[in-house]
Chains A and B, each alone.
Chain A
Amino acid sequence: MFTRRGFIRAGAATVSSLALRPFGLLPALAQNASSSYKALVCVFLFGGNDSNNTVVPMDDTNFKAYSSIRGSLALATSSLTAPATTASGAPIAFHAKLAEVASMFSSKELAVVANVGPLVQPLTRAQYQSAQAPVPLNLFSHSDQQLAWQTSIAQGGSPTGWAGRVGDYIASQNINSSSFPPFFSVAGGVLEGVGGHTQPVALAPGGSLNLTGPAAGIAAIDSLLTTSYGVSLTQAANDMLSNSVSDAAMLDAALAKGTALKTVFPTTGIGAQLQQIAKIIQVASYLGMTRQIFFCSLGGFDTHATEIETLNTLYGQLSPALLAFYEATQELGVANNVTTFTESDFSRTFQPTTTDGSDHAWGSHHLVFGGAVGGGQVYGQFPAFELGGPNDTDTRGRWIPTISIDQYGATLCTWFGLPPSALALVFPNLANFPTSNIGFMGSPTS
């Protein structure tokens, strides 16, 4: 059996030096490497979630502006959860279909991070409008802003994802005790998990990587995995199959150690994905994992029309699945060791369209939960609810982010145990921002 996981061969001419810069000279995890397991779980909301309707500030001034400007998209109090008081005293409410999310907020297991997005550096409306400062490449384009979130390099062109670079660091420090990849996707291969020399493993929920065939055929497949095909797509395909074969062996042995979870997950796509992640976490030690990053996704958020109905459906799938996952981590005794966070292409225009929807925008509010999260609080500032106001790029309510993805990610990764020197390599734009820790992970561990 071929067991060495394929090594990414990047074209040296175009790969940034960042991707190839060695982590070897860096200090090890801030915490002792033998410390307990930690996992980050990304829930990517594809299509651009209108986070203006995920969470709403309920103080009189903001709620009046929200109701007036959002018009047909404004949620009435009957379509919102009961207002929760944040640690700072300002009340917020969640979309009524996010009742489970609201309950985790109330029990201080979930935090809201307001107005996060890709930035090269802090940016004002005046700077944006006069084009006097660098802005992310191809703003408002789905594909580009998904990649900005996944790479945390807003300028574009990164061949690696930020979680992939975290994986490179984990591998360079031998923090995990096996060659099983640190990045695990239950939603296909994604750039977020592609590192300079670590590659994602992808498993469909309930799927298997085991190959079936006649013994002689399987032996033939194995024998071909070491064939060299030069600089070619054939080589790239062969490397992927090699990865699959080596991952299958480890995965199979580990999953055989699992026991049925008592937590019941909703029978939705996102429910099945999160359930699969919980099953992997249960057997993480058999995979030799001390640090692991997971990726799952829910699509359909591109609500240019009939947004109210669409979000009712999607949040109705998302919220119970998130709670079930949190409960599963409690069942497994790792609630404090697993932190789940959302990402999305962008948020959407505050001003509605004539088709009862909203268009592509920028900064968005995000959810982070887990036992280690400083929950029950909003981190960062809601934008001023004013079309053409100080946070708007133009006149439609496309919020210029006030927290960068780099800061959001670095806060998560600081908890994960990355030292500042590693953070600087994973998030090369981080130094452009005043703080690398937004504070939502409680007190920093280093």
Chain B
Amino acid sequence: MHLSRIRGFLAIFALVPCLAQAQQVSARAAARFLDQAAWGPTPASIAQVQSMGFSAWLAQQFALNKSDLRDQPILTVTGTSNSNLAPVQAEFFFNTASGEDQLRQRVAFILSQIWVVSQQSGVTQAYAYPPYWRLFRDNAFGNYRDVIKAVTLSPAMGRYLNMANNNKANTTAGTVPNENYGRELMQLFTLGLTQLNLDGSYALQNGNPVATYNPSIVTAMSKVLTGWTYPTAPGATAKNNNPEYFYGQMFAVEAEHDTTAKSIFGNVTIPAGQTAEQDLDSLLDALMAQPTMAPFISDQLIEHLVTSNPSSAYIQRISNVFENDGNGVAGNLQAVISAILLDPEARAGDDPSAQVAASFGHMREPVLFFSNVLRALNATVAAPNPISGDASNMGENLFNAASVFSYFSPLSRTEFNLVAPEFQIYSTQTAADRVNYVYTLLYGKPRGIRIDLAPFVNNATTAQALVSYINTNLMHGAMSSALRQAVTTAMASATTPMAQAQAALYVVLTSSEYQIIQ
């Protein structure tokens, strides 16, 4: 888990220049791009990207209206706390299938996978999740510093990692503030455990990796983050330690804030006598000044959007943008996302003749897999729908990760020692589950989902025509000859165009080639 991230040796990329926008985007390139920048291609979106070009499409995505996850009742009809997250989960998949703001949703979901809040051992109240989700939706193309501050002061995170009501030390009781949020803010959300160079490799001192913090810094961080409580519910009286309430922001209670000086990472000392908010702003300044943040966050965004094993040069190019968007601004997510998607390494495979490393790409995690398949099959997704239950069976229970370490670790590896985060939840069980879900979708009648195979049936004039149509729209035109042969063989026993389409889609969607986006 802590091997250096230098993986440049894996990538043998033809150095193609970034495609000029005037140049016609091929269907293959558009479909590939939409597997990276959206919840998967559709024939209509492929045509749209082909006509607009990548940059114009991105500009349009940045400006589109935002889809929403609707607010949920605080109480059930019987007056108990409402913990039913199903409507939120169902609406999430409704949005991925049909929402226009595809890239914003993708980025928001990635941010929510880094900044985990979960019902498991955490925030059970369903009404906490839509406002928490909106922090990522609204800041998806904003600045990372704003994400840090918004989440830090969100009552959902305050509850999940126990920053809410984290009072300063009480010498009478022999207690000290808890270290939870301060530790994970550094380890998971901003800095990681080990100092990195901009290209993602370890920044060595005397030949050794250097930790970004030590136990005494964790203790100092626990003091920096004292003195915040839940927003006061309407009609309630504010207290130093308010009860849980999940609308709005946490507020400072100076009486519970530790005002001593604190020595944190990067040899920064937060001076004594500051307010809770001043301490937080000092901390944010210190975090944004840490050179390890750019590669730490950039690498994770690349992993989620494009490839699990980027070259060190790719990481470095994105880190540079993270540090400076061209206008001297650090943490500009819109610039970072654009740079990731338009990078020559991301786009190299658009050209079928380009030499791209076999290790390029990443696995469709369950949430991505479901969204991709549903869009590919022109599905109409109602809310409620059972999709999140199926994703949960496959290890990705939406907004319900097992811990703050999310559904899977960005450091997880698989065969060949390849970085493969999504493989952490890919087992003999979930591999079988994927196949069986495809069967249910194509041959069963899953509740709340209506697929439309008409375009496939219409293209099943010959076996070759159908395979070609599927290859373009689902496989970026990159189907192997083995898969093409397997599909053709499976279709041979089908007697109707519909049965042919079902058989062909079954083989493609269950194939290992489809599971990996290359």
Contact = CB atoms under 8 A, between A and B. Distances in A.
Interface of A: 8-11, 13-15, 46-47, 69, 71-72, 137-144, 147, 156-157, 159, 185, 188-189, 200-204, 207-217, 219-221, 223-224, 227, 229-241, 243-244, 247-248, 299-300, 302, 304-305, 310, 351-355, 357, 359-360, 393-394, 396
A247 B428 contact: yes
Contacts, number: 264
A305 to B, nearest CB: 4
B424 A71 contact: no
A220 B493 CA distance: 12
Contact of B431 (A185, A215, A233, A244): A244
Interface string B410-453: 01011111101001111111111001101110010000000000
B358 interface: yes
Contacts of B438: 213
Given A219-B490, A354-B168, A354-B169, A10 B432 contact: no
B167 interface: yes
A15 B403 contact: no
Contacts of A351: 174-176
5 contacts: A71-B174, A140-B215, A188-B395, A231-B416, A305-B162
A244 B179 contact: no
Helix, strand, loop or mixed for chain B's interface? mixed
A406 B428 CA distance: 29
A47 B418 contact: no
Contact of A141 (B187, B416, B424, B494): B187
Contacts of A360: 179, 183
Nearest to A396: B176
B471 interface: no
Contacts of B511: 221, 224
Contact of A229 (B162, B420, B507, B512): B512
Given A216-B489, A237-B516, A300-B121, A143 B175 contact: no
B160 to A, nearest CB: 10
Interface stretch (B135-143, B327-335, B479-487): B479-487
Interface in B167-205: 167-170, 173-180, 183, 187, 193
Contact of A240 (B308, B402, B428, B482): B428
Interface of B: 1-3, 120-121, 161-162, 165-170, 173-180, 183, 187, 193, 211, 215, 218, 308, 358-359, 361-363, 393, 395, 402-405, 409, 411, 413-418, 420, 423-432, 435-436, 438-440, 443, 480, 482-483, 486-487, 489-494, 502-503, 506-507, 510-513, 515-516, 518
Given A202-B427, A353-B175, A393-B215, 10 more contacts: A71-B174, A137-B2, A188-B429, A214-B503, A232-B361, A232-B418, A240-B426, A243-B431, A244-B432, A394-B215
A413 B183 CA distance: 35
Given A216-B493, A299-B121, A221 B435 contact: yes
Contacts of A13: 417
A213 B432 contact: no
B512 A214 contact: no
Contact of B121 (A14, A230, A302): A302
A156 B482 contact: no
A182 to B, nearest CB: 14
A236 B506 contact: no
Contacts of B427: 185, 188-189, 200, 202, 240
Contact of B403 (A47, A157, A233): A47
Contacts of A200: 427-428
B420 to A, nearest CB: 6
A380 B395 CA distance: 38
B304 to A, nearest CB: 14
Which residue among B169, B416, B428, B503 has the maximum number of chain A CB atoms within 10 Å of its CB? B428
A148 to B, nearest CB: 10
A300 B174 CA distance: 25
B179 A201 contact: no
Given A213-B510, A360-B183, A143 B1 contact: yes
Nearest to A68: B174
Contacts of B361: 232-233
A310 B393 CA distance: 25
Nearest to B502: A214
Contact of A8 (B174, B415, B443, B480): B415
A232 B403 contact: no
